[in-house]
Amino acid sequence: MLSWLLLHFLIAAVGTLLARRYALQRDLLDHPGERRSHQVATPRGGGVAIVAALLVAIVALATRDPSQRWLLGGFGIGLVLVAAIGMADDHRPLPVSLRLAVHALAAAVLAISVQMASGNPWLAMLAFVSAMVLTNVWNFMDGINGLAASQALLVAMALAWVLGGSWALLAGALAAACAGFLPFNFPRARIFLGDGGSGGIGFSIAGLGTVAAMPDSPAALWLLLPLSAFLVDAGLTLSMRTLQGERWWEAHTRHAYQVWARSKGHTSVTLLYASWTATTVAVMIVLRTTPVSLAVALCVVTYLAASVVWWRLERMESHTKTTGDK
């Protein structure tokens, strides 16, 4: 296991270095602006190294474990589709409709492979919905240094604990790859994930979570705990912007983590989010063999608490704007 983790850590680290060099040569830079949370022009697209590490893992595991080839194949095809459209968008902005259409195709491929492997249409539906949601949530939440990659690392560790066999190794590869990328993105960002990387991570977490639910449906409920910070922040912010008639797909700085970062800084907020998620991972590991009713109760309490924090941060931002206008 140690050599497996080290391999994917190195693939991601070396790949990130190469991606940074490529981005600088091609002038693939995110520039500061009203809809950005950073202050200096920064290369983007480093997440391709994480995707590359995952694809190496998928090929190796499919060769080693023929019984999982179809499911791993569907996972890999979907990952390539999401990463490819994201990387294309990193080079030249694409219509949101095209990006969502490719995401839907990737989610459908994953869902079909889950249906073939499990024979359970509900799990196939879970695969499709979670892939669509998490692919975009990780993109929305990739706005300050280290946040998206550190959250992925923690969630992948939780998935590796829950899963077994080849899928635990794949989750471990994702965690190791995120660890290989993070030194280039946190605490100072020398490169960003880009849409290809953030979308690929979200899709991978969705696929791994669905596989975890195949033999053990309650696992899907427990996995909602480590996802709570991202799902609440992205979900409530998206709902608020939609109700206010804003274009939800456009870049902005209204997420709770962005509001918080303006007063506390990127490093503090990333560490605070990591502390929240690490706590939920610990709770999940300790209590996941307990009755499902406890998982439901803990999810309700956790999401309500996260929603209160989001609401307070939103009020703080509104008050700041009102005071500034006066």
**Band (9; pLDDT cuts 50, 70, 90):** very high
First-to-last CA distance in the chain?
59
3-class secondary structure per residue, 228-281: HHHHHHHHHHHHHHHHCCCCCCCCCCCCHHHHHHHHHCHHHHHHHHHHHHHHHH
Domain containing 319 equals: 2-325
> Between these two residues, 262 and 159, which has the higher pLDDT value?
159
Q: Give the Cα separation of 138 and 308 in Å (integer).
A: 21
Domains identified in the chain, total number: 1
* H-assigned helices in the chain: 2-26, 48-64, 69-91, 96-118, 121-140, 147-162, 165-181, 194-213, 218-222, 228-243, 256-264, 266-287, 292-325
Half-sphere exposure of 235 (CA within 13 A, CB side): 12
Paired tokens of 308: 């209160």
Q: What is the pLDDT of residues 30-76, one digit of tens each?
A: 777 555 556 677 899 999 999 999 999 999 999 999 999 999 999 99
The model scores a pTM over 0.85? yes
Which residues does the annotation place in the binding site for Mg(2+)?
139, 195
Residue list for the binding site: 139, 195
The answer to whether 204 touches 77, Cβ cutoff 8 Å, is: no
